[in-house]
């Protein structure tokens, strides 16, 4: 499988499980219709209908495309990491029980881990 070439900043987050600074990502306050794919392998991960303003500094989604995102316990043991199911690239973390949406789930995703594909008009 061939992956997209990543910048050093993208590698820091996607390959080395870093975190971009809050409020800095291009998709935090972004509201266009389309699909968010993995920046490294272009696997479709999230739909714009599932994005919501989580007021946390990173894009928030309350659902993923079925089979696209895997969950595992973070190295610190206190959070649940989310990664791309195809390439294993780090996306961010998922939180449950916050009651921010009816699905009671928040995928807190680094914008730098995503690429946006607009819906065709």
User: What pairing do the DSSP bridges indicate for beta strands 69-73 and 80-84?
Assistant: antiparallel
Q: Is residue 92 classed as helix, strand or coil in its secondary structure?
A: strand
d(CA 80, CA 101): 19
Positions annotated as catalytic residues are: 108
Q: Give the whole-angstrom CA distance, residue 71 versus residue 83.
A: 7
How would DSSP label each residue in 9-58?
A: HHHHHHTT---PPTT-STTTT---SEEEEETTT--EEEEGGGEE--SSSS
DSSP H/E element including 100: none
């Amino acid at each position: 499988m061939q992956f997209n070439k990543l910048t050093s900043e993208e590698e820091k987050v996607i390959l080395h499980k870093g975190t971009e600074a809050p409020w800095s990502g291009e998709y935090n306050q972004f509201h266009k219709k389309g699909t968010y794919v993995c920046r490294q392998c272009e696997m479709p991960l999230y739909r714009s209908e599932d994005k919501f303003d989580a007021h946390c500094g990173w894009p928030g989604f309350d659902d993923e495309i079925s089979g696209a995102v895997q969950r595992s316990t973070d190295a610190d043991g206190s959070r649940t990491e989310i990664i791309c199911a195809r390439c294993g690239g780090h996306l961010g973390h998922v939180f449950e029980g916050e009651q921010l949406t009816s699905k009671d789930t928040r995928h807190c995703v680094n914008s730098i881990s995503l690429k946006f594909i607009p819906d065709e008009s």
